[in-house]
Amino acid sequence: MTARARGVLGAMAVVVLAAGCTATGTADSTASSPPAATVTPSAPAPARTAQGTLLVADFGSDTVTFVDPQRGPLASVKVGTAPYGLAVGEDGRAWVATGEYRGGGMGIALAPDGKHVYVGVNVPDEKGMLEVVDTATRKVTDTVPVGRRPFDVDVSRDGGEVYATGHDSFDVTAVRADTLTARRFEVAPYGTEGGLGSWLKPHYAAVRDDGKLLLPFEGEKLAVLDPRTGKVAVEPMTADTHQHGARLTPDGTLLAVGTGPIGAGDDDASLTIRTADGKERVVPLDGPHEDVAASRDGRTAYVTGGFTRDGFWDGITVVDLRSGDTHRLPAGHRPLGIAVL
């Protein structure tokens, strides 16, 4: 690891805040002891954060915002530079990856047992790194090289493997949680021509019950990666739009966010609702969007408007997954990652 990479790791990658206790908690870094976070309530906050409250990483304002899914923002907490992804544990703590475009955290995931959090770290002009954080001590215990610019991090259902999706290297790196040995799988259904300048790269993944990873591409192709064999199958999709966020609902329905056109012929932003048998409905969205979370009952999707390119907006689109009805909520500044308490 280079000195430059060491300077990025730990110092910028992740912060933790008490998400499930109150909406006026503090945040502190796993690598240092910054001042206590400031809280800027936009409405009176409840004594305890209610189940179903949304947490949104505000890339544009260095905060996490608590959002009531009916009424809108409750309060915001300062967490560090450019918060990107976030994950919430059963203990009520939220872990926030910070610093992406300046070198720092992007994708993030918690182990099923809550003992470790895994952070994909963007190291400018070099391979990315996967940080392993001990959640009890809040210290980075290990780092593993992964693909470039790890947009997303996911964990197998049994916690045995961690998957880092390398946007700029067209790959997924599978890391054994016990030995930290890594295997690289190319995931490039359009090929790798164009390199860093290509738009046809992997972004986010979702891990299915059978252990396979689902990676949507361009509203045209769904790459299905089997990490046991390294084989990638490709299934057709129907939205015909540049796709980013991916999430599975409790019944196995895949939600894939269409950000909008990046070239001639692309359709506008949308949310693809793809059932386990491959049937799709496409719900139009107004303007670019980035990531998605689902309610605990699987009936509602929350799609952030932050977007990693120009054209973002400051809110969330709420989608009724049965009717396809939508409405907007305000939510911080350039919201990217989202989780449901």
State residue 20's pLDDT score.
61
> Among candidates 36, 97, 49, 18, which has minimal Cα distance to 338?
97
Q: What percent of the chain has pLDDT over 70?
A: 87
- Its sign, for the CA torsion 233, 238, 239, 241, is positive
> Among candidates 242, 254, 241, 244, which has minimal Cα distance to 294?
254
Give the C-alpha separation, 168 to 195, whole Å.
7
> Among candidates 239, 240, 316, which has minimal Cα distance to 283?
239
* 3-340 CATH pick, 3.30.200.210, 3.50.50.60, 2.130.10.10, 3.40.50.10330: 2.130.10.10
pLDDT > 50? residue 81: yes
> One-letter amino acid identity for 304?
T
* Per-domain boundaries in the chain: 3-340
pLDDT > 50? residue 199: yes
268-311 pLDDT per residue, tens? 999 999 999 999 999 999 999 999 999 999 999 999 999 887 78
Give the C-alpha separation, 25 to 10, whole Å.
22
**171 neighbors 223 (Cβ within 8 angstroms):** no
pLDDT > 60? residue 47: no
State residue 127's pLDDT score.
95
> 104 falls in which pLDDT band (50, 70, 90)?
confident
> One-letter amino acid identity for 41?
P
Give all strands of the β-sheet with 292-294 in edge-to-edge order.
292-294, 300-304, 315-320, 326-330
The residue behind tokens 């196995």 is 252
224-258 pLDDT per residue, tens? 999 999 999 999 999 999 999 999 999 999 999 99
pTM higher than the cut 0.85: yes
The residue behind tokens 């009176």 is 44
